Amino acid sequence: MNFKKLNLQLFAADIGGIGGNTQDDISANTGQDSNAGDNQNSNADGNTKTYTQDDITKLKEDWAKEQESSYQSKLKEDIAKAIEEEKRLSKLSKDEKDAEEKQKLLSRIESLEKEKELGILKEKALNALSEQKLPNSFLNFVIGADEKATFDNISAIKSAFDSAVQAQVEERLKGKTPNISNTGGKSDDIATQFANALRGKF
């Protein structure tokens, strides 16, 4: 993972968090119908249409038919694949079949070992993040190919994060209003903003 130079303006929001909803959030909330239980809907002309119980029953039946059709299509596809695989296996010798089964077993064991190793690596990374006083939300950004790469990533993020915090503190001491235009004002704290910035950097 190669860390690029971070734009510290992205982390200039107040450490204490940014409260309140955006205008878009307010508009979205006020646009919701408080009478959600009424079987009504407005068409393009602004006229309100009332759904009868028969209408609702038909909609449910249509939905069920679509689901059944989709299920049947998937079932037919799976059956066709199974038949093709059976035909392929029937052409193999006993030794070839045994070799395939052995390879499948080895692949499964390897997959399980990798999952176990990844779980151990994540646990170590979480402990390291905690020791460095970094949020657990950084976990996916720091996981590397091995333990060394992971710890190197944690060190790099720790340095960048501390620089971002220091820059914000200096801005506040100067009495300047932090620039949060790049974050949209929706992050709860600097850790979240930092994580959001990292998503756009890697």
Distance, CA of 182 to CA of 164 (rounded, Å): 14
**DSSP string for residues in 82-109:** HHHHHHHHHTS-HHHHHHHHHHHHHHHH
Q: Are 193 and 17 in contact (CB under 8 A)?
A: no
Q: In this predicted structure, what is the pLDDT of residue 164?
A: 83
Mean pLDDT along residues 180-193: 48
Q: Are 172 and 178 in contact (CB under 8 A)?
A: yes
pLDDT digits (tens, 9 = 90+) for 65-102: 999 999 999 999 999 999 999 999 889 899 998 999 99
Mean pLDDT along residues 155-184: 73
Confidence of residue 170 (pLDDT cuts 50, 70, 90): confident
Q: Is the pLDDT assigned to residue 22 strictly greater than 80?
A: no
Mean residue pLDDT across the chain: 75
Q: Which two tokens stand for residue 36?
A: 């959600």
Confidence of residue 160 (pLDDT cuts 50, 70, 90): confident
Q: Residue written as tokens 């409260």?
A: 19
pLDDT digits (tens, 9 = 90+) for 108-140: 999 999 999 999 999 999 999 999 888 898 898
